[in-house]
Chain A
Amino acid sequence: MAEFGVATPSVKVVGAKSATATGKGLSVVALRKTYGDVVAVDEASMEIAAGEFVTFLGSSGSGKTTTLMMIAGFCEPDSGTITVGGLDVTRLAPQKRNLGFVFQQYLLFPHMTVQENVAFPLTLRGVGKDEIRRRVGETLEIAGLSRFAGRKPRELSGGQQQRVALCRALVYRPPVILMDEPLGALDKKLRDQLQVEIKTIQQELGLTVIYVTHDQEEALVMSDRIAVMRNGLIEQFDTPRELFERPKTPFVADFLGAANFLPGRIEQQDGEHTLVRLDGSGGLIKARRHDLATGTHVKVAVQPGRLRACAPDDGFCTGTVETATYVGTLVRAGVRIDGKDAPLLRLEVPAGRGPVAGERVGITADADDVNLFADEQAG
């Protein structure tokens, strides 16, 4: 396992993808699934490139697992199509799709050894005995499981079992590997470690992976692109950086960045910037240019980490620090803004220069970090 410990998950292999990808592309068009009156997945469409790591991120009931199950074939869509490597698999039985699946509960065969578990999909494909031994050995080696080959699953820890399940899903080089919250049953430390391992294996082998999780951090660490889902809809399908810095909806800004929201109205615009007059405090905040008309009611969204404390009256608003919590490298502060409604802004600032409770501070942010959303309700 040590060889994976040094890998940084943020390394991108975009350039190498097309050359080394063993996985295939996948496309989903207008996929829809209803249970009675409830729309579980509503016209989901996306293109996933070969060798890409894509995560479906959402809370429970967002439709992320249903979408995955439809791709796997465990659940039949009402309408829409799924193609893998250009082949329509929408109406195929799961066993005919040749995909890999890693379950949250591992689901290793308890009557087989690790060796036999990993060999199982190869024996189904009529691979010769020597070839099976070679490929199983190779795959177990990658996951650092070679010395457990003769053990039964119940003799392994949770993390080891999930590594075996991963080996079993990738040993036959399926064009796409689907993972349904594979680390959900593991503790935090092991989860962090396996995130890096899975990501490294995925990059080295050029696997196409679709991953389901409700953990934002996990999604950000592992994914090339993330589909944020809510109520059966894909809110935004983008790279982690885009989602984090350029959220397209207030939900995405809140879900990924835990953004502060302030109501306001667009007062003035020029080529580069938009000026917004905040409702409660009356302060003026500068945002990067948005294509919204002057006078539009908007929600201003800024993430806690992108707000800075400054001298009182130097920022777009001023307030009093109510709480300041030291959390290691950061101080989390709650600042009550002066003026009507007096909202509480959450700040994350580097420890050391952090504000203290009771202090009067001004608050400022770079225009580039300020996102605006048209506020339909205030319309």
Chain B
Amino acid sequence: MAATLTAGAPARPRKLLASRRTRVGILYALPVVVYLLVLFVYPIFSTLLLSLKDADGSFTLHWYADALTGVNLSVLFTTLRISAETAVLSLVFGFVLAQAITRLKPILAGLAMLIVVVPHFVSALVRTYGWIIMLGDKGLVNETLAAMSVPGAPFQLLYNELGVVIGTTSMMLPYTVLLLYGVMRGVDRRLMAAAASMGAGRVTIFRRVYLPLVAPGLASAGLLSFILSLGYYITPALMGGPDQTMIATLINQQVTKENQWNGAAAQGVILLVLTLAGLLLVKAVTSLGASRKKRSAS
């Protein structure tokens, strides 16, 4: 905002305006700064402090030691594994769906996007129960499979890792589809025609032209669903068994059942660090790819 106010000013008086611009800038930024301080910085710091405090108020690291040993550590690994599986699956399904939608006529594409996004307005709890009804031993899926006399039916589709991943993937799908659809729409179709005119077949065009152009979208969509899954609570709790306990469930248990705030805080901080690490990783990978390209060209 502040930049647009002075953008028209000629180069010479810019210095004179600089101090005024800074003052105006601070004024504009104030609401955001206050908002961030109150709603993000304060809670995060108090959680951090809580996780470093012993029962008597002295400094300790044993909450972290607890969180990273025994059952807690395996819960952490389960969380990472399920999140990764969810990210990959929602990326694959999201890619296929978004790809299909970009090929539709505009009206149909709008309708398809609505169908993808609308379920998201329904409470996650309701949707999860919907899945439970669908996937149960006497649910629609198993009944259909049994009617088609598929060997092995009914399958165990609930209260195991498969159930959790089905649930979380369906929750993440709107995000990946929305993100990927936006990126795919931005790809100039005529680039494919150009590649074809030079002799590239469908597979080559997809691999060497289309995929690199949508890659940034794939990275951010995958990361988003991974991060969102890390902290997911309802679906894993209801659709998984004891082996699928995820870190959010554990935190909830510690606070509500054991009144153990310090341990919960330590696990919350670990979750936050993992999320940030994921973000940095994706950023590092993409910038590495870019710099390698630059070097090979010169």
Interfacial residues, chain A to chain B (CB-CB below 8 A)? 72, 74, 93-96, 98-101, 103, 105, 107, 109-111, 113, 115-116, 120-121, 124-125, 149-150, 168-169, 172
Contacts and interface: CB of A to CB of B under 8 A. Distances in A.
Contact of B297 (A95, A103, A113, A124): A113
Contacts of A111: 212-213
B199 interface: yes
Interface string B183-194: 000001011011
Given A107-B191, A109-B191, A110-B213, A95 B200 contact: yes
Contacts of B204: 124
Contact of A168 (B198, B209, B213, B293): B198
Given A115-B297, A150-B294, A109 B196 contact: no
A93 B196 CA distance: 9
Given A95-B200, A95-B201, A125-B199, A101 B297 contact: no
B197 A95 contact: yes
Interface residues on B, range: 20 to 34
Contacts of B123: none
Closest 3 CB pairs of A and B: A101-B197, A121-B198, A113-B297
Contact of A103 (B190, B200, B209, B298): B190
Given A124-B198, A168-B198, A94 B213 contact: no
Interface string B53-78: 00000000000000000000000000
B199 A105 contact: no
Contacts of A94: 193, 196-197
B209 A72 contact: no
B297 A116 contact: yes
Interface of B: 188, 190-191, 193-201, 204, 208-209, 212-213, 293-294, 297-298
A98 B190 contact: no
Nearest to A114: B297
A74 B190 CA distance: 11
Most central of A72, A110, A111 by chain B CB within 10 Å: A111
**Chain B interface SS verdict (over half):** helix
Given A107-B193, A149-B297, 19 more contacts: A74-B193, A94-B197, A98-B199, A101-B194, A103-B194, A107-B188, A109-B195, A109-B209, A110-B213, A111-B212, A111-B213, A120-B195, A120-B198, A120-B200, A120-B208, A121-B200, A124-B204, A149-B298, A150-B297
Contacts of B212: 111
13 contacts: A74-B193, A93-B196, A95-B196, A98-B199, A99-B197, A100-B198, A101-B198, A103-B194, A111-B212, A113-B293, A116-B297, A120-B208, A168-B198
A340 to B, nearest CB: 55
A93 B202 CA distance: 11
Nearest to A115: B297
B39 to A, nearest CB: 38
A67 to B, nearest CB: 16
A149 B212 CA distance: 20
B199 to A, nearest CB: 5
A150 B298 CA distance: 5
A172 B199 CA distance: 10
B240 to A, nearest CB: 40
B24 to A, nearest CB: 33
Contacts of A74: 193, 197
Given A107-B190, A111-B212, A95 B199 contact: yes
Nearest to B188: A107
B197 A100 contact: yes
A124 B199 contact: yes
Nearest to A123: B208
Given A109-B209, A113-B293, A124 B197 contact: no
A363 to B, nearest CB: 51
A172 B298 contact: no
A300 to B, nearest CB: 46
